[in-house]
Amino acid sequence: MVILLIVLALGIGLLIFMFSEAHRTYVEERTIHLSRFPENQQPLRLFFISDIHKRTVSSKLLEKIPGEVDFVIIGGDLLEGGVPLLRARQNIQKLKTLKTLGPVYFVWGNNDYEVSQMQLKQMLKDEGVIALKNEHVFAISKYGTTCHFAGVDDLSEGQINLKRAVSSIEPEQLTILLSHNPDVIYYVDEESKVDLILSGHTHGGQIRLFNFGMYELGGLKEKRKIPLFVSNGYGTTSLPLRLQARAQTHYITLKRKE
């Protein structure tokens, strides 16, 4: 009986810990050096948040961002089925309060297709969010640093067209590819003109045992000679629990690789 109570207590304690991990507020600072970053231009500072799902962007999160932000990137799964559109709107409005003169960029994730597309698109438009679906935009920071953001549709629920997304971008121009699903790397080749990929989707496995999970932990990787940055994500899916895959957002500084 005593052993049973101990096991039960440990199980409850683990669930409480996993629930707490899923609702942590963490901003990872990361510097990424890119060989084709424009010479004699100021670094680019991005706030990258992916896989918000059911969570609310808290004021505590915004207070933890260490400096000015040139551009805010939402890497898909802004919401999911059952999440009120008002909550997603309020999350965007909070992100827009950051110290930035640049717009908020968004790409579709698989769970974003679980809500009315007409209503979601109208809300994004109303809030001035630039939604990229197989297209790109030229961006310039308030310090004059330039780049292209190219965004593709979700790999599983949408219709990805990478060639269209990067069309007309000159080879020498810095290009950051936004894709909810990191498997976009298998669509990329040298002709895609991509310098960095920002993705989410995997949640870092979300629940890992002895450091093993359904997906790799997030982080900066190099695949097919292209830097690929994958976030563990801010929210959760299915279960509001995490283990060995902390919830995270990112303050990313892009600089030239010497």
pLDDT value of residue 231: 97
Mapping DSSP onto H, E and C, the string for the chain reads: CHHHHHHHHHHHHHHHHHHHHHCCCCEEEEEEEECCCCCCCCCEEEEEECCCCCCCCCHHHHHCCCCCCCEEEECCCCCCCCCCHHHHHHHHHHHCCCCCCCCEEECCCHHHHHCCHHHHHHHHHHCCCEECCCEEEEEECCCCCEEEEEECCCCCCCCCCHHHHHCCCCCCCCEEEECCCHHHHHHCCHHHCCCEEEECCCHHHCECECCECCCCCCEEEEECCEEEEECCCCCCCCCCCCECCCCCEEEEEEEECC
Please report the pLDDT score of residue 258 as a whole number. 75
What confidence tens digit (pLDDT) does each residue in 226-248 have? 899 999 999 998 889 888 889 99
Mean predicted lDDT score pLDDT of the chain: 90
pLDDT tens, position by position, 37-67: 988 889 999 999 999 999 999 889 999 999 8
Average pLDDT over residues 214-229: 89
What predicted TM-score, i.e. pTM, was given to this entire model?
0.94
